[in-house]
Amino acid sequence: MATILITGCSTGIGFATAELMARNGHTVYATMRNPQRAPELGQLAERDNLPITIFPMDVDFDESVSTAVAEVLAQAGQIDVLVNNAGIGPLGPVEEAPLSDFHAIMQTNYFGTLRCIQAVLPAMRERNAGCIINISSVAGKLYSPYHSAYCASKAAIEALSECLAGEVGPLGIRVALVQPGVIDTPIIDKNEPIASDTKYPNQIRLRAYLGASRDNNIPPSTVAEVVQAIATGEQTMFRNPVGADAGPLLGWRGSLTDEDWIASAGLDEETWIGGMAQLGADVRPYLTIS
């Protein structure tokens, strides 16, 4: 059994991954910014006697990450698998989105991932063993209007991970990417309403697609199962799409030229609605949501 360090475990994919790995006998160190505000995982671990230890860790800060990793190493002796899951995902047009949104999302999604990687690598390198699993997104390869901050952060993770895999593979350390589609997690609920004075009303389409895709009820446990398969060596691919929509979305994008993909943002509403239906998303009920 392995010792697993997971970030962003208060809800969603991180919570589900911590629970699944622990139920399968792995020793899990689950981290989150404020454990006091999200006691559910700790309560679950205590109730079911699961091998989960919860640590406070804010991936936005060097000291928080280095302290947590040092404490895990002191307790467990080694970290076999790092799962970089912590992330945020604001929406909005480039012109109207505050610059602070771009800073915040890169700080958490990209630099947070990088901080954790740099913190665990020395011990993994000394042992010539380890696995780093970065939770990316189909958005790391599919760049949608009004999703620029999130897509940029996930594209950066994709590039970082591929570079890192080549660097540490010869040292016995494996790197893998997980690319979820739309998963039923609280991240979708955290977006601010569209501003009434927006110059970009078409951003409702992205929100409608996310809402409609969420109705497919793909649970975070679906992603957790893939993470576990990677961690145990059952799944050996570098990139791992997850969810009913992930493959079709990536395939659709791959079938289009860059110019056709960009032009698709200008489709008339009925044509766009029909296209989304082909991808399994009934977006019409969401197009009146402000």
Per-residue pLDDT tens for 10-47? 999 999 999 999 999 999 999 999 999 999 999 999 99
Instruction: Check residue 238 and give its pLDDT.
Output: 98
Rounded-to-integer distance, Cα 39 and Cα 43, Å = 6
The helix/strand/coil state of 127 is: helix
The helix/strand/coil state of 103 is: helix
Position 48 confidence tier, pLDDT thresholds 50, 70, 90 = very high
For residue range 104-147, what is the model confidence (pLDDT) as tens digits? 999 999 999 999 999 999 999 999 999 999 999 999 999 999 99
How far does CA 28 lie from the centroid of its chain?
A: 18
Position 203 confidence tier, pLDDT thresholds 50, 70, 90 = very high
CA distances from 285 to 46, 182, 204, 207, 210 (A): 42, 18, 11, 11, 12
Evaluated on CA atoms 203, 217, 37, 76, the torsion sign reads negative
Instruction: Check residue 288 and give its pLDDT.
Output: 77
Residue among 58, 202, 223 at smallest CA distance from 138: 223
Q: Is 141 a catalytic residue?
A: no
Please identify which of the residues 10, 137, 144, 153 carries the catalytic annotation: 10
Residue 190 pLDDT > 80: no
> How many percent of the chain have pLDDT more than 90?
90
Q: Is 264 a catalytic residue?
A: no
Q: Is 10 a catalytic residue?
A: yes
pLDDT top residue among 267 and 289: 267
CATH 3.40.50.720 fits 3-192+217-245, yes or no: yes
Please identify which of the residues 64, 136, 137, 148 carries the catalytic annotation: 136
What value does the mean pLDDT of the chain take? 95
Please identify which of the residues 29, 154, 209, 213 carries the catalytic annotation: 154
Token digits for 266? 């200008």
Rounded-to-integer distance, Cα 164 and Cα 120, Å = 13
Please identify which of the residues 29, 150, 209, 286 carries the catalytic annotation: 150
Global confidence as pTM:
0.95
Instruction: Map out the domains of the chain as residue ranges.
Output: 3-192+217-245
Q: Is 137 a catalytic residue?
A: no
